[in-house]
Structure 1
Amino acid sequence: MEDLERIVREHSFFTGMKHDYTAVVAGCAKNVRFEPGEYLFREGEVADQLYLLRSGRVVLEVDTDDGQVALQTVGESEIVGASWLVPPYRRGLSAKALELTRAIALDAACLRGKCEDNHDLGYEMMKRFMPILIQRLRAARLQILDDRREE
């Protein structure tokens, strides 16, 4: 468990967070890996995990009538799977490994419970998620605008 706690604490998402909080978060963690082409999750699925990427690259995609459309590629030190935070806890897009990807998976129900039990931790998590969500929303908007210009 010490290794997972250290890895969580050293991930850029948790930079500056109190060690007490990262220790609590690490209690919800496990190591995972994904092969190239393997989906971490698909749009519409239950958002049961948040991923802290340690290595590799993941493409975030949205389903369309014409198939999958790539919105953004993320990599080492980033997170994937923010839908765990907002009811109804369903994936709003898909995430597929582009290369061998190693991550820490945080159990969503466990993490939500920890945040509910400790609202200060929950507030810290929200402050860290909001900038990422806003950035990804902007990236999706720009992708849509680029696609329209190409038509």
Structure 2
Amino acid sequence: MSATGTKIQRSDREWREILTDEEFRVGVKEGTERAFTPGNYESEKRAGKYHCKGCDTVLWSSEHKFESGTGWPSYWQPASEGVVETKTDFKMIIPRTECHCAICGLHQGHVFKDGPPPTGERWCINGIVLDFQPDE
């Protein structure tokens, strides 16, 4: 969470100062990284937390990660309640549920209803907008 616990708003110019071009395209412009992109944490097996690159908020945990076979890191729920917000995405023919960091708004990916128990959800996340911190 931000130091003050409040939402962070940045202009495109401010985002470009802290993100790479590809991180900006995916996180700010709501793009999608290619499946199985090297370094996107899809195959990360260590215990740890996944922090938002925009504000360092812990969004995802290895405790909730599962192998979806989709090419993106997948989780059956966020790390804690209230750290991820959703909205309907109409960019494709069928509406999807898009998810964003609740603190800085950085686009994370989408949530689908084809995941494992106990939630039945698959939060399909762009690893490029994450910073993995392994447990010690």
TM-score computed with the length of structure 2 as normaliser = 0.30
Structure richer in helix, relative to its length: 1
